[in-house]
């Protein structure tokens, strides 16, 4: 598995989770949060957790995943163009392959068992 395959596999996993969570209504999430509040006093951590739930919806996660996929595709296309010695516009990833951008996209998954230390930026 190369770095591009690794990133795409992690994004596929993230998408499955986000789509599964998309079936959970915002009201249900708020009810769960309300249960947490009622079981114990609202402290700073519970308040932050509530903000987190409200902010990072499945829709936002899916948009983030799509943007990352577009970056991966674009960098892969640019690499292919550079390798074929055709002129290109846009990304100038002349720092070797895989480029720093792809290495950075993989970094949040560094604890995954398939992540390779040589991919570190």
Model-wide pTM > 0.85: no
Tell me what pLDDT residue 66 has. 98
Closest CA relative to residue 104, chosen from 61, 66, 62, 75: 75
Tell me what pLDDT residue 72 has. 93
- Give Cα separations from 78 to 46, 61, 73 (angstroms): 44, 26, 8
Give the number of other CB atoms < 10 A from CB of residue 51: 11
d(CA 92, CA 81): 11
Tell me what pLDDT residue 32 has. 74
Tell me what pLDDT residue 3 has. 95
pLDDT in tens, the chain (121 residues): 999 999 999 999 999 999 988 877 777 877 777 776 676 666 777 778 777 777 888 889 999 999 999 999 888 876 665 555 554 544 666 677 788 889 999 999 999 999 999 999 9
Tell me what pLDDT residue 87 has. 47
Helical pair 26-39 and 44-55, crossing angle rounded to 10 deg: 180
């Amino acid at each position: 598995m190369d770095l591009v395959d690794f990133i795409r596999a992690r994004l596929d996993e993230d998408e499955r989770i986000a789509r599964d969570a998309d079936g959970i209504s915002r009201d249900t999430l708020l009810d769960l949060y309300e249960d947490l509040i009622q079981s114990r006093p609202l402290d700073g951590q519970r308040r932050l957790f509530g903000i987190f739930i409200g902010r990072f919806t499945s829709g936002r996660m899916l948009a983030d995943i799509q943007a990352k996929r577009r970056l991966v595709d674009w960098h892969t296309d640019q690499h292919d163009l550079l390798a074929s010695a055709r002129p290109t516009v846009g990304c100038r990833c002349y720092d070797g392959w895989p480029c720093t951008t792809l290495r950075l996209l993989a970094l949040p998954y560094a604890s995954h068992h398939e992540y390779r230390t040589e991919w570190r930026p």
